Structure 1
């Protein structure tokens, strides 16, 4: 029975380095696949392992095929050795022609100059003449200048899981992996505005996604740059702060920028949407709470330059008014007979 210390932290990262490592453990594989997935036990042909619904090994299940059978990871069953291609079997025992029609040519995954001919369900190994390589699509030997042959070894994790299986990327909820027909691990990414849903194996809107438990939390999206096919590009005032603003970038296919740059003017300045500049706060009319970011002070009130409001903990409090004939000067923090015409308090 397979056992593992509990509480161990796995930071299994898919990369080019991974291809150089030894075969992954069942824990490492089960970290990526959906709970309940049955895999071929690494480095075996007849053992299987069903990943648990949690990240422990408390409720796992494993088994071994009876004598004369191999485990078929694509069907999830034990089958005749003659009908199963085991990725861990030696070339002498592995039969890649088991599921191919007679007369089929197969490329040799380890040698560009070699190929396999399927005859009566058996492999016939052959080699191209000197200087030629095997063209997989044309099923013939050609000059190396006529075909780009890339010898790709199967990805370690794709050897153990069913072909076509989707796997979560524990480093990025926007991305996921797929094991293709040749056991190569392909990195894929969801469309903008979507993320990979770990529980349903699909890309869904970010606000409905269930990310892999080990993946970092998604960066919050900001809905200020319009909607699809009705986007806003450029500078937009923050609707919650007089001094802040967004920069909406232009995206492809008419999609809005969901992660615009968010910036703040220097202390004492407000963003002016008319001039697209940071201006002295007294020269900008802002209908938001002008006390935000201010300590225990008084500010002018929009629409009445004779009135003032008390700021407490960055929030507007009680409102007062200078006596008749006086105006409130926010800069000096006093009522004065000098006429005040700051844009901040004008009607």
Structure 2
């Protein structure tokens, strides 16, 4: 029998009260607010997500949580609870919620544990392994605990998300060009309406192999705050995986200055509301007469100043004084 290495803290699920667990906040951040899902590895409890926080509630004794009916019941139809540890006594199973956890089957009961030091659990090897040796890159089986037909975001790429089928199979899906996955609506929306922490790397952002860009910061091409550092990879090799950075809130990246600077001096025409809270900011159209009303860093709507008036971003108002910004089209 193989022995698990680097394993600490085995926990038997016997909680019979409602408890808030920070460990589920990361999962809750990826689903629509109010989502309820079965607690990973435990068929007798469920997690309720509210404002990004996960609260665990145990079902009454003798009942299981039905993920599709979203309530506790005497029995459930899906195979997750019926077969998770059936005839698997003494085996270690992958935790469906992450790459680091595992579930040990003992007398038909799942006992949960976690690999230490960032190791991943490998079910085929029955042990914890280095992340570089693991095939797990994300939640291994989130759809096994979510209601059927649910969806959840991909934290590594804003224009991708996972969709659960009726049979609880998860499929990675890509939004159409110019769209990002919006967790709140569970739909793909304009990239300018969706706050993003991980933009997809544009093609040839560091140049082509025939003419690479290196030792330089470049715009990320999809936001005003984001930028990449293109490292030297060789005389005829461009950096295919450049490091991504983001200016502090209230600043935009200026490629000419190679620095983060005042947004009013930027010519960026992407989401000018990003990182600017609920401000009103200058738009790139109609010669500085239009402006954007921001809400939580996203574009709420475009507004136009009255005739013969210009928008002054510092005053946050339309004025009769001619005001011009580099981004405006004339």
TM-score, scaled relative to structure 1: 0.37
Rg larger for: 1
Q: Which structure has more RCO (C-alpha within 8 Å, separation ≥ 6)? A: 2
TM norm structure 2 = 0.39
